[in-house]
Amino acid sequence: MQTHEIRRRFLNHFVAAGHTEVPSASLILNDPNLLFVNAGMVQFVPYFLGAQTPPFVRATSVQKCVRTLDIENVGITTRHNTFFQMAGNFSFGDYFKRDAIAFAWSLLTNSIEDGGYGFDPERLWATAYLDDDEAISLWKEIARLPDERIQKRGMADNYWSMGIPGPCGPCSEIYYDRGPEFGADGGPEADEDRYIEIWNLVFMQNERGQGTSKDNFEILGPLPKQNIDTGMGVERVAFLLQNVANVYETDLVRPVITKAEEVTGRTYGVDHQDDIRFRVIADHARTAAMLIVDGVNPGNDGRGYVLRRLLRRIVRSAKLLGADQPTMGALMTVVRDEMSPSYPELATNFERIENVAVGEETAFRNTLTSGSKLFENAADAVKTKGGNVIGGTEAFALHDTYGFPIDLTLEMAAEAGLTVDEDGFRSLMAEQRKRAKEDAQSRKHAHADLSVYKELVDRGPTEFTGFSELTTEANVLALISGGVRVPTAVQGEDVEVVLDRSPLYAESGGQIADKGSLSATGLRVRVNDVQKIAKKLWVHKVTIEEGQLTEGDVVLAQVDPQWRHGSTQGHSGTHMVHAALRQVLGPNAVQAGSLNKPGYLRFDFNWQGGLSDAQRDEIETVTNDAVGADFQVNTFVTDLPKAKEMGALALFGENYGDEVRVVEIGGPFSMELCGGTHVQHSSQIGPVTILGESSVGSGIRRVEAFVGLDSYRYLAKERALLAGIASSLKVPSDEVPARIEQLVERLRVAEKELDKTKAAAVLASAGTFVDAAERIGAVKLVAASAPEGVSGNDLRSLAVDIRGRFGTDPAVVVLLGNADGKVPFVVAANKAAQDLGIKAGDLVGSFGPSIAGRGGGKADMAQGAGSDPAGIDAGLDAVRNRVVELAGNS
């Protein structure tokens, strides 16, 4: 049975049982505790917590999930994926254990002809929480399971929670016995490779408190309602029904391995280590594609770092399998072809997916090239000292600082006849992971207590009147202070106010909230901010400036008209810049985020590489031409499929409802899904001046601009600045660039001449150093401070010149400089000194600690730099003593 069919049957089964089918949420949700959605129930958390009343009592979904806790173990085990699909059914205070068990059992064991999966019931096992006698009894009654195929397990295995205070409860897991050829008898407790978990039924009935682990937390008491949350692993069911060895060989994953075989020339199933690499490629390619399509871009922290790490592991694995050409485009194409029947967005957005993945591959291949050079330097340093082990610190630095993978370090070390201190490397990695884990744990906290808003949310959404008016008469539904309802608020107090109607825009979609006021006879209230709760309740954060505000009052809610005018200019300007970017750069310049406020806009978009001056100028011109065209701004509400069919742009990773609002400016020029406020005609935006364009992460660029009066003020300021420069240079304004270029060129020539003069003066001092040379045994030693301010290159030239003047006599030159608080140094030893056993590279160790310096080189020449000029004299004494030892031994 194909994976797409497994998904279809699951959803059909539960829809037929009265469940509402809910689409998968984006992998990115606004949850401070989650990097990515990692379970099917995540989008329903507000319902389980009781913060919101669900619009249905039964739901079913197939949720895309990503778990990245043990990326290094992917491919080593054969049942874990970073990306997986979790099919689930949910009850919000409706049915409980009996129906949950019955629904799962019937789907698993019903014949294929009857819409089930056709599993042999004799090969299914169940587990239950230690004291959950009710579940055990139901397994016996409904599934006819004998005692020996029901196992009791403790909290770590069979008691579920989110890991933070919130809903929890005992669970029952369903396992499939693959047979004795896969492991020992004895059920899931004995062997979870033979007995594969395919479904977990969570009986969510309690509330948990604080705790430190999966089985160490306090159970506070029962929830108001008993809920059901289940999760069936689609990939695990697929590999069992398709009778393949593991999840990597199912119909949607194995084609990626086949393509990897083609591009690497290796064969899957021949070598264990190669098989792990093939599985890493297949798993990570799917995960990366799903993350990119939901709006993630490679970066150095958070979600971006996870994506970067996945993509780099693909490149690394392909390289270790023998690929010497780029592979990412081919792999992503296979992922698209196999997964798009269930996730059509992979096809519609494939060009962007490919560009991001290929761009990261190109960058990392360059990193591997530079990393190889760094490795060669480290290997040379080890060999120079007569060693054969690359230290764990060096290996960790290659990995952590330069992104050079440890397995390539190990492979290259072996080729060079060296080994690596793996224990030291692993220890440093463990320390880093521990710090990261502690940091992540410190960021976790209980879900915000929104129960105070629940009754208000249940009453229905706030009526937003701000599209058509700036002043609205409204009823005060509630006052909230410190997380609790209060009856009144008086002058000087800051409170939250919930109204039945409001013209004030609540922050969302990149547009910040309106400023405004609430008023009545004897009452004046300043509105500082407006936020949404549950996407539909407007909460006004206010300061009582005069009088007393009481629940039930009727007030006049008013938007600051000047603020709204500037805000709509900024928001409509954002749409215009987005349209101009797509016109100039093409359809892949897609929004990745925005911020707009009165007079200013910031727009982030997906793009590889910076914009040229010509492109930036063209974007600004196209934007202002559209502004000057005085386009009509039209808004209308339609259903999501119709809006997409019309070509309206949607934001990556955003979850939209069945009905959406479309903002159209100039017909085909700009059409986007948007819930914000806008001007009525494009000319009302006023001039748009792009301030700059920059990178804010791998594959993401940012444009910033002023609009309206702020744009005019900025241009006036720039004009005054140009006039001042023109006056100083005594040229017309249009000749300023050419005159500045002339001045810069003259300065560059003067600096070069000055450098030549300095270099000549340095070299002229060589004779003075030779005359002052010390004789130590047969060796002539120059150990001295160089003239202050001498650069490293000039220092090297001076040392070489001094060394050459000693002819065939054994000579060693050690020069320590002092430039801007740094201590550049050069050590030079001629052939005669080397024959006596004195090597330049070895001498660095004698004086390096004195100046907090590091460096190295070969027998004839070594150089580096320190950071402690106060240690120069001590360093020179140390090198003299070392030369005395060596010359004496010679």
Q: What is the pLDDT of residues 615-656, one digit of tens each?
A: 999 999 999 999 999 999 999 999 988 988 888 887 755 667
Q: Confirm whether residue 4 is marked as ligand binding.
A: no
Segment among 28-32, 386-390, 875-879 with least mean pLDDT: 28-32
pLDDT (0 to 100) of residue 438: 57
The secondary structure of residue 773, as a DSSP letter, is: P
515 vs 415 pLDDT, higher one = 515
pLDDT (0 to 100) of residue 889: 56
Give the model confidence (pLDDT) of 3-15 as tens digits.
999 999 999 999 9
> Which tokens go with 484?
């609790």
pLDDT band for 445, please (50, 70, 90 cuts): very low
Q: DSSP string spanning 253-296?
A: THHHHHHHHHHH---TTS-HHHHHHHHHHHHHHHHHHHHHHTT-
| Average pLDDT score over residue span 284-296 | 93
pLDDT band for 448, please (50, 70, 90 cuts): low
Q: How confident is the prediction for the chain on average, in pLDDT?
A: 88
The crossing angle, in degrees rounded to 10, of helices 272-293 and 302-320 is: 150
Task: Let me know: does 52 contact 457? Beta carbons within 8 Å.
Answer: yes
Give the whole-angstrom CA distance, residue 230 versus residue 101: 10
Percentage of residues in the chain with pLDDT exceeding 70?
94
Question: How big is the CA angle at 173 (ends 122 and 341), to the nearest 5 degrees?
Answer: 90
Picking from 89, 62, 80, the residue whose alpha carbon sits closest to that of residue 3 is 62
**Does the structure show a pLDDT above 70 at 252?**
yes
| Average pLDDT score over residue span 735-763 | 81
Give the model confidence (pLDDT) of 121-156 as tens digits.
999 999 999 999 999 999 999 999 999 999 999 988
pLDDT (0 to 100) of residue 443: 44
pLDDT (0 to 100) of residue 267: 96
Those residues whose C-beta lies under 8 Å from the C-beta of residue 465, and which sit 6 or more positions away, are: 472, 501, 502, 503
Q: Confirm whether residue 674 is marked as ligand binding.
A: yes
Phi, psi of 250, deg, nearest 5: -80, 170
CB atoms within 10 A of CB 212: 8
CB atoms within 10 A of CB 317: 25
Task: Let me know: does 318 contact 281? Beta carbons within 8 Å.
Answer: yes
Q: Confirm whether residue 575 is marked as ligand binding.
A: yes
**Does the structure show a pLDDT above 60 at 441?**
no
Task: Let me know: does 334 contact 269? Beta carbons within 8 Å.
Answer: no
Give the whole-angstrom CA distance, residue 555 versus residue 464: 15
CA distances 554 to 106, 476, 478, 486, 490, Å, are: 56, 6, 12, 17, 16
Which amino acid would we find at residue 123?
R
pLDDT band for 453, please (50, 70, 90 cuts): confident
| Average pLDDT score over residue span 439-445 | 48
| Average pLDDT score over residue span 518-544 | 93
Give the whole-angstrom CA distance, residue 407 versus residue 427: 16
> Which tokens go with 378?
């480290």
Q: Confirm whether residue 171 is marked as ligand binding.
A: no
Percentage of residues in the chain with pLDDT exceeding 90?
53
**Does the structure show a pLDDT above 90 at 258?**
yes
| Average pLDDT score over residue span 187-215 | 88
Global pTM? 0.69
pLDDT band for 431, please (50, 70, 90 cuts): confident
Torsion, CA 163, CA 165, CA 167, CA 173, rounded to 10: 20
Give the number of residues written for the chain. Answer: 890
Cα Rg of the chain, angstroms: 35
